[in-house]
Structures are given as C-alpha cells and as structure tokens.
Amino acid sequence: MLSVDEARARILASIQQLPPERVRLEAALGRVLAEDVRSTAPLPGFDYSAMDGFALEAEACSGDGPWELPVVGESRTGHAPPDWVKGTACRIFTGAAIPRGATAVLLQENVLDAGGQPVRSLRDLESIRFSHKPHVGEHMRLAGEDLPLGALGMGKGSAVGALQLGLLAALDRGSLIVTSRPRVLILNTGDELREPGSPASGPTSIPESNSFVLAALARSVGADVAVAPLTRDDLQTTQRALAAALSHADLLVTVGGVSVGDHDLVRPALEAVGVELDFWKVRMKPGKPLVYGRRGVTHVLGLPGNPMSAQVTFILFGLPLLRALQGQSECAPRSFGLNLLGPLSHKPGRRGFYPGRWERGGVMPLGNKSSGSTVSLASADLLIVMPEEAAELAPGEAVEVIALG
C-alpha cells in the first residue's frame, strides 16, 4: 500500500501539461501562466510624487532654516511636468511627474505662515516658507523602483489571482498566454443517492452532496467542471457511464464504489473500459480506498463515497493533479506548523487528516472524525496531519496543518 507522498508523486509524474491559449486580461482570473511576463518599461515609468506638496531641490536648502522659495509652476497627475526653474518650488500633486531637476517633495503640511504655523490655504501662494529640511528623494517614487526594464513580473507556472491582475495590468498586458483549463467530469455512483430537493424513494435514500464540493474545489483551481447524471449500482450501467465520460474529460472523478463490497463496481468497470489502474489503496485515513489510473490522456481518480473521505482525498490528490495539468509551479497542498489546542488520537498505521479550526494560538480539532460526516469539514479551515506512527497527540504539541481554501 502506497504512502500519501508516494501516491501523489506517482500521479504528478504521469502528468502532461495541457496546451496553451491566449486570453484577455479580464478573463485571466484563476488561470495559470504559460509564459514569463516581464516588464517592457520601467515600473513606474517616471519619477512621481508620493504626496501633495512642492517639488524642490533639496540640496539648495543648506544651513539652518527656515527657508523661503518662490513658487513657479504646477505639476498635475496625467500631465507633463513644467520646466524646472532652479531655486524655486513647483506645486505638485500625488502621482504627478517630478519636474526635471527637483530632488525632493516638501509636504504641503510643512508650509508655514509668517508666524511659523502651517498655512490654512495653499491657493495662489507666490512663495513658501518652511523649516523642515528636505532630503534627497523624500516623498518621491522613482522610475523602475518596483521593476526595472526587462525584470520578471510573474513567472511561468504562476496562478493569476485578484491581486496579480493588478500587477499584470500595471505591466500593460491586455492579454496573456495561459494553460488551457482542465475539463473535469464528476460521476457519482450509488443506489442510495438522489438529487438534493428531489423526493426520497425510501428511508435510506440520501441527497447526493459530494459533487457540489468537488466541483467547487475543482473550479477554484481553474477547471471547467461538468457533473454526470447519478449512476446506479449495476456493472453494465456503470461501464456505459464511464465509457461515455472518458472521452469528454482530462480528469474523470468517480465517487463511491471503489471499496471491496459486492456493490463496489467502479474498479472492475474501469478495467473493463480500458483504464490502466496504477494503484487503488493509499495508507491514509480517511480515504484508504483511492483509485488512480489512465486511459490515453484522460486521468481517472476514483474516490470513496463517504463525504469526508471523498473531499479529503480530492484536496490531497485531485487538486494537485489539476494544478499540474496547468503547469503550476507549486502543486502540493499548502502546509505549515501550528500548536495543537486539543487532544487528538487515532489507530496508528495510516497517516491521518482530520478537520480543525484555526484559533488564537493554534489549531483546535473538531469533534467528529467520521469519514461519513458532512458537518466537520464544513466547519473547518484546516486539516490536521497526524503521523502514521502516532496514536495520540497532546495539546501543545506542534502539528502540520493543511490550509483549506
């Protein structure tokens, strides 16, 4: 039986990146860059003022103040600066270009009246008086201080989030080359399942919930997702559904039917339609019966039907697979260390992944670790990783946690 790390490594080693395509910047949210994006001009492109005030030559303010300078000209945002007149101050506004020759910006709050108090109105001033000695570069933003010409703004394999869109726009990119979206098809099996909100066929009929979580998770990393109609526990029906699904997806995700019961038909049905299975068990809890295989370029991930098992295994294996298909540079789930705030125990022998909630000072385990629970993960923002060899973890111990979202 493979460890979690071995299983994920085998999946990622089999990935061939999807082809690139060009998209408009406004459509790039959630996509993965298939090119390096470099600055084609310095960023910012010119020296500008960080504050409202007066542009002047700092070196001219020698000795002890106060100093007085005549005001000549005005530099406004979006306009070319006026010609600089040495020995003067130029009125300037936030974001406006620094006139050539000025070396500092004096804050307008530092302009004094004859009594040494800040002036109340700066309108139509013919000269300014100040005792604050400016230094070279004060309140100035210099051309190229964010990125010089030709510098790397975002690298190939980077995911484009909301904040990255601002950088790409500042780099004057109207379009980008990104990796094509992976096509994901989710297929649920089980006689007990029905669509949420539909009439129950009996007391053991349950609303299907996994596809909603899995589809949202897949979309969160840039995938296009479709959900197939519910499939009953019949071998021929399952085979037909799988055969139809395999030709329409880069990743086929089956949910349920991968264990060893008489009605767990997904594994034999996958083999019958030509899927080459790589592995079907992983040393983890929840989620031990996990199937991975391929047919041609289509990847197949068979998840357990229990909600926590299905969701945890998809977070640990499905999301990295989708990131890798898009060429993302970081595919594994993001993890870090926290102190445990409550006791946690399990039977040793498999690595555990249990729901927890971040609280001040650490992570609190959530009560129900059952693989069938739909409540615990909905209340969690972290997965607590419990080592295979551990039986108990005490409050105060350092643990690895995986961020959810």
CATH number, domain containing residue 105: 2.170.190.11
* Among 279, 186, 312, residue whose Cα is nearest residue 241: 186
Beta bridge partners of 307: none
Number of domain units in the chain: 4
- pLDDT, averaged across the chain: 93
Residue pair 90/56 in contact (Cβ under 8 Å)? The answer is: yes
Q: Which of 299, 325, 351 is the last residue of a domain?
A: 325
Is there a single domain that holds both residue 300 and residue 353? no
| Residue that is written with structure tokens 């991930």 in the block | 301
The answer, as to whether pTM is greater than 0.85, is yes
Give the per-residue pLDDT at 255. Answer: 94
Is there a single domain that holds both residue 121 and residue 155? no
- Residue 277, domain member (yes or no): yes
Is there a single domain that holds both residue 339 and residue 209? no
Is there a single domain that holds both residue 320 and residue 375? no
Is there a single domain that holds both residue 158 and residue 113? no
Lowest mean pLDDT among 121-130, 218-227, 241-250, 333-342: 121-130
Q: What are the phi and psi torsion angles at 12 (to 5°)?
A: -65, -30
CATH number reported for the structural domain that contains residue 377 in this entry? 2.40.340.10
Residue pair 76/91 in contact (Cβ under 8 Å)? The answer is: no
- Residue 330, domain member (yes or no): no
Q: Which of 127, 161, 179 is the last residue of a domain?
A: 179
The band of 204, judged by pLDDT with boundaries at 50, 70 and 90, is confident
Is there a single domain that holds both residue 167 and residue 222? no
Is there a single domain that holds both residue 101 and residue 164? no
**Tokens coding 350:** 């498999």
Give the per-residue pLDDT at 121. Answer: 74
Taking 60 as the threshold, does the pLDDT of residue 10 lie above it? yes
The band of 354, judged by pLDDT with boundaries at 50, 70 and 90, is very high
Is there a single domain that holds both residue 375 and residue 344? yes
Give the C-alpha separation, 363 to 375, whole Å. Answer: 18
pLDDT in tens, 374-396: 788 899 999 999 999 999 999 99
pLDDT in tens, 212-260: 999 999 999 999 999 999 988 888 999 999 999 998 999 999 998 776 5
What type of residue is 15?
I
CATH number reported for the structural domain that contains residue 38 in this entry? 3.90.105.10
The residue range of the domain holding 372 is 335-403
- Residue 202, domain member (yes or no): yes
Give the per-residue pLDDT at 369. Answer: 66
Position with higher pLDDT, 184 vs 234: 184
**Tokens coding 150:** 């030709």
